[in-house]
Structure 1
Amino acid sequence: MPSSVLHYALTISDWRSHQFTVALSVPKHEQTDLELSLPSWIPGSYMVRDFAKSIITLSAVDNSNAKNAFPVTKLDKQTWRVKTNGSACTIRYTVYANDLSIRSAFMNHEYAFINGTSAFLRVAGFEQSRCELDIQLDENDETTAKWQAYTSMPAHGNSTSVSKWHFAEDNYDAFIDHPIYVGIADTHSFDVDGVTFTLLFSGNNNIDYQRIANDLTPICKHHLDLFGAPPPIDKYLFMTLLADNGFGGLEHKYSTALLYPRFDLPQVGDNENKTDGYITFLSLCSHEFFHTWHVKRIKPRVMVNPDLSQETYTNQLWIYEGFTSFYDDVTLARAGVIEPQKYLDIVAQNVSRLLQNTGRLKQSAAESSFDAWTKFYKQDASATNNIVSYYTKGGVIALGLDLLLRKASNNSVNLDTLMRLLWEHYGVDEKGTPDDVIQNLCKTHFDIDVSDYLNRVVYGTEDVDLISFVSEMGVRFNTRARVSAEDKGGLTQLPAIRNQLGATLKPASLGLTVVQVFEGLAAMQAGILLNDVIIALDGHIVNAQKLQRLLDTAQKSAVDVTLIRDGKLLTLPLNVVKARAEMAYFNIEDVQTLNQWLGR
């Protein structure tokens, strides 16, 4: 393999048209032609995104004679061949950056955010070569003149370059695993057990960064303690893009990129109460930092060296995203950031999503993992009836597994013990897990056979038996009917609705537009379809509140629903159906037992 350095010069060339340019310098090489490609997906987000579609122009010139252009042939949607005859050359290309999803690249008047998978071409034969990066700005542009560059990529000196920022990684895969932020930002750092954490938020804000750092400190310490010393990092960057709306997170080995609504975060001068939006942010940070071990280092065997040009299938995502979804919330309760009842309400909301989702009875968590590329990441309005989330069900599976291990071992082992085994046997050396890793570790190290449990709830479509499991936590599991369309589950004192339409609605200029129809309930039985606009019930014009009131007070077994479908008025008979008990909640029956389970 060539050991020569690849040099990438990234220039923020035109933020107004969402464009940056890259000049890739390739040294002399043995092959006659160079093959260049861009990944089609980014690790941690299992959908083909075809990043190469954003490359606008691409050309190549001889380094010894810039007037000598090399022929470029496009081979497929993401691959180019450059005929160089082995000469050192520079590949110049322009990229369109207008995807605010933290999985690609985005640029506006405040910053440029760039993932390596959407910016840096792979050179065949140079995958193990050192990759160096210079970042340049247009000094004549007043908007970008004061921008700064931030990334978790190691810096390197380069006295001969006119660029302000220089970074490098040992090989291509490591190089593209560091998201890059160039722009205006607020930063705040804090230390936990020798690891320096930096919070970065786009723009200049009135956010209470010290409060966020104080709340994240015990969360980060929990994860560091769980996996033990030495940690695989000494620095970590929480990079948050703030927006009016939006939500997302993507893990990297030494950082995470987050997208979050700015006013869901605590502002300077706010009271000390934690809003649901802020708790969700802390949970998101917890989730992505947990991936530092569990996904970025402990990973399925097929993800150790994945082919980024096409789908890489695994049925293990319930282990990786599911277990992480368990730990992200329970860590907040363990660390004292939220109270135990608040944690139970969050779990109840997750369980409620499952209970409303008849797709859980059709697709297993293992199948959901395998089909992530299409069915999970490309959901349509019927998804709730046909698929299950490996995040949501995987989190409940993890809770059940923890309680099963505790009971079978008389509390000598639990899910934490299993996580440390995963780290010790598969994470430290990053050798990748086989499909049967959980049952094998439990049998080999605990002498506990969990195969029947996994066959039922992971490879089959049975629900986790929470009624029997959670009694070991000192709590009782219950279900109830929803109290409103906005009800997410959890403990409440509000009265439940009596009858249920069985559809998700959103306000229209007149009436309510149908955006989801649930199997087995009144709306589907009546023949109400997606995108119908419900305008009246028994002749009464409706909004969401009035529709529910009319259903609850109906004195007949059926009512007439009037709707608009494809520009036509229709009136359909709608059976009045009693509301399902599909919302979960937990009652604490033994505070001491629950606190012991949480380790508080």
Structure 2
Amino acid sequence: MVQLTAAADDGSKIEFTVSFSEPQAHYADVEMRISNIRKKEIEVSMPVWAPGSYLVREFSKNVEGFTASTNAGAALSSEKVKKNTWKIKTNGNKTVVVNYKVYAYEISVRTSFIDASHAFLSPTGIFMFVKDRLNEPVRVNITPFSNWSKVSTGLEKIEGTKFSYHAPDFDWLYDSPIEVGNQDIFEFDAAGVKHEVAMVGGGNYDKEKLKLDMAKIVEEETLIFRENPNKRYVFIVHHYQNGGGGLEHLNSTVLGAKRTGYTDAATYTNFLSLVAHEYFHLWNVKRLRPIALGPFDYENENYTTDLWIAEGFTAYYDNLIIQRTGAISEIDYLKILQAEINLIANQRGDKVQAVTEASFDAWIKYYRPNENSSNATISYYNKGALLAAMLDLAIIHKTNANKSLDDVLRNTYQEYYKKKGRGFTSKEFKEALEKEYGENLDEFYNKYVNGTAEVDCAKFLAYAGLELVNRANPKMPSLGVRTRKNIISTVIRGGAAWNGGLNVNDEIIAVNGERVEDINDYIKTKAVGENLMIVLNRDGIIQTLNIKLAASTDKSLQIDIMKKQTEQQKAVFKKWMKM
């Protein structure tokens, strides 16, 4: 671990101490010591969201027992003036000590969780800030509970201390999750970087295998950008009976994993894809980023139309990277891409919401889906990944296999992060794509990025000697619903149920005088155009609707390798797969 000398920490005038007097009740005790005060009043606030997860989560809802005092312990007057802000009268004191407790019992990669076995501290939900002092250095002291003996974090350790850490400013602090407990820790070196892996909650993992496979991912991703910006990186992996998800940070990440999943091939592959995704964010998002994503406003939404690049491109590369490392074959990768294409093609929201709009509306839609979301929205992850794949193929084809999307990301990383020290605008990223492609991409953007036209995947796949075939049965009848035990969970836009008046939460009791156990199985025995007399329960009232079955419009798209390929198509495929 990189260590700072004590002298390097002398500039910290804001210091936190976190302890755990009642971990079994899921509480952290936080002391915030603020020095060098020159005002009669100061305000301290809790962030409302966690960067990387674009939803206002109102972390201050978990704060209890806020008090303020002098350095000598005398009480100071304080009052809550906003949902996440407290005002303190300093009475001329240059040092103020704030104490509060945080309740932490939400399992996710973006929220804090504390129990008798360990504490995971997601910083934006633990540490308050002084309104005008976000740029100041911070010291964090951790006092582990009872028999807890380890701390894992990307923060730099202060020399001569056991569990004290330094952050150059609050942006760095808020980007450095902390794991406290008895986690199983192992290390590996890759791309000149020391990597710590903190495994929490047990699991049937093979450390030596993970070291090799994770190192391959690190090396392969570093090859794209030709440098790794860290000297040390920390993986915090939380294990559950069933788990998943991840959240990126500047020099660390938090991952969720299935405790017993490491010996199942498919589950293990998914875990490696998650590792590849979050590690790729080390460059894309944390450094190469839309201009709105940093420095952050921690009290309000930070809007951008470019999450389809920030998250979507990363979602494209995660599976591509594990293919490049040999964890999956080229055919396996094509099956993953095929599933992505079908997901987008069969989601009605793709014809309603542009991927740029989906990016902008993440704050109100993506993390708050409802029963109509599939009809009205599209995921900037999935759609962004699909567009990245098509752009990659287009660039490789247009440049006769000399360039790829790798070049775009590497060059924009150098231009905006390294040289200009800022994020890119939407216009600038489009120009970067066009520079490698060799001509403008207005049509692509108008149709697929800012518009809702169906992506012509067949055209782009053909560049690599692949064809896209729809193998759906055009005579397949469809009611146009998704159900759970015959209770409707989704009514699909434009389908028979949509037009006929069926609602979400309707319980289907009988059809054509017959008791029906599974409506979708029942429909398979019918024909397009047949009338169904459906008896349903809607909020305790029995109703009957007549609905005519429509033909299913769902696609079943399959990627096939062309029997005859040109030399250029072979070259594009080889470049794409890095063969």
Give TM-score scaled by structure 1 length: 0.89
Gaps in structure 1 of 5+ consecutive residues: 140-144, 483-495
| Further displaced range: 523-532 or 202-211 | 202-211
Correspondence 1:330-345 to 2 at 5 A: 330-345=320-335
Question: Secondary structure in 2 aligned to 1:399?
Answer: helix
Question: Secondary structure in 2 aligned to 1:428?
Answer: helix
Corresponding residue for residue 127 of structure 2: 120
Aligned mates of 1:155, 1:571 — CA distance in 2: 69
Correspondence 1:258-407 to 2 at 5 A: 258-263=255-260, 265-267=261-263, 274-275=265-266, 277-407=267-397
Aligned mates of 2:490, 2:28 — CA distance in 1: 40
State whether structure 2 residue 238 is matched by structure 1 residue 237.
Answer: no
Q: Quick one: which of 393, 407, 431 aligns to 1:440?
A: 431
Aligned mates of 1:51, 1:541 — CA distance in 2: 49
State whether structure 2 residue 76 is matched by structure 1 residue 70.
Answer: yes
Aligned mates of 2:189, 2:12 — CA distance in 1: 37
Corresponding letter in the other structure for 2:482: T
Aligned mates of 2:212, 2:487 — CA distance in 1: 43
Question: Is the contact between residue 344 and residue 585 of structure 1 (CA under 8 Å) also seen in structure 2?
Answer: no
After superposition, the Cα gap between the structure-2 partners of 1:374 and 1:117, relative to the gap in structure 1 and judged at 3 Å, is same
Q: Deviation per CA, 1:91-121, whole angstroms, max 9, x where unpaired?
A: 1010010111211211123221111100111
Shift of 1:191: 1.8
Aligned mates of 1:577, 1:525 — CA distance in 2: 10
State whether structure 2 residue 562 is matched by structure 1 residue 589.
Answer: yes
Aligned mates of 2:159, 2:60 — CA distance in 1: 30
Correspondence 1:127-166 to 2 at 5 A: 127-139=134-146, 145-158=147-160, 164-166=162-164
Corresponding letter in the other structure for 2:255: L
Corresponding residue for residue 17 of structure 1: 25
Question: Is the contact between residue 70 and residue 93 of structure 2 (CA under 8 Å) also seen in structure 1?
Answer: no
Shift of 1:37: 0.6
Corresponding residue for residue 66 of structure 2: 58
Q: Deviation per CA, 1:193-226, whole angstroms, max 9, x where unpaired?
A: 2222232221233222333333222222110111
Correspondence 1:415-494 to 2 at 5 A: 415-429=405-419, 430-444=421-435, 447-481=438-472
Question: Secondary structure in 2 aligned to 1:42?
Answer: coil
Corresponding letter in the other structure for 1:151: T
Q: Deviation per CA, 1:340-383, whole angstroms, max 9, x where unpaired?
A: 22211111222222122111112111111111111222221111
Give TM-score scaled by structure 2 length: 0.92
Q: Deviation per CA, 1:487-539, whole angstroms, max 9, x where unpaired?
A: xxxxxxxxx993223222123xxxx2211111111222232211112233333
Corresponding residue for residue 527 of structure 1: 501
Question: Is the contact between residue 113 and residue 121 of structure 2 (CA under 8 Å) also seen in structure 1?
Answer: yes
Shift of 1:158: 4.8
Question: Is the contact between residue 8 and residue 134 of structure 1 (CA under 8 Å) also seen in structure 2?
Answer: yes
Aligned mates of 1:131, 1:596 — CA distance in 2: 46
After superposition, the Cα gap between the structure-2 partners of 1:113 and 1:539, relative to the gap in structure 1 and judged at 3 Å, is farther
State whether structure 2 residue 479 is matched by structure 1 residue 501.
Answer: yes
Aligned mates of 1:478, 1:524 — CA distance in 2: 28
Aligned mates of 1:406, 1:202 — CA distance in 2: 42
Q: Quick one: which of 191, 196, 202 aligns to 1:198?
A: 196
Aligned mates of 1:581, 1:14 — CA distance in 2: 53
Aligned mates of 2:43, 2:139 — CA distance in 1: 19
Corresponding residue for residue 599 of structure 1: 578
Aligned mates of 2:433, 2:174 — CA distance in 1: 35
Corresponding residue for residue 516 of structure 1: 490
State whether structure 2 residue 541 is matched by structure 1 residue 576.
Answer: no
Aligned mates of 1:445, 1:517 — CA distance in 2: 43
Q: Deviation per CA, 1:147-193, whole angstroms, max 9, x where unpaired?
A: 4221111111355xxxx411111111111111111123223322212
Question: Is the contact between residue 405 and residue 448 of structure 1 (CA under 8 Å) also seen in structure 2?
Answer: no
Corresponding letter in the other structure for 2:503: L
| Further displaced range: 568-577 or 393-402 | 568-577
After superposition, the Cα gap between the structure-2 partners of 1:443 and 1:474, relative to the gap in structure 1 and judged at 3 Å, is closer
Question: Secondary structure in 1 aligned to 2:550?
Answer: coil
Question: Is the contact between residue 505 and residue 516 of structure 1 (CA under 8 Å) also seen in structure 2?
Answer: yes
Shift of 1:29: 1.5
Corresponding residue for residue 515 of structure 2: 541
Aligned mates of 1:60, 1:106 — CA distance in 2: 25
Q: Quick one: which of 78, 89, 104 aligns to 1:97?
A: 104
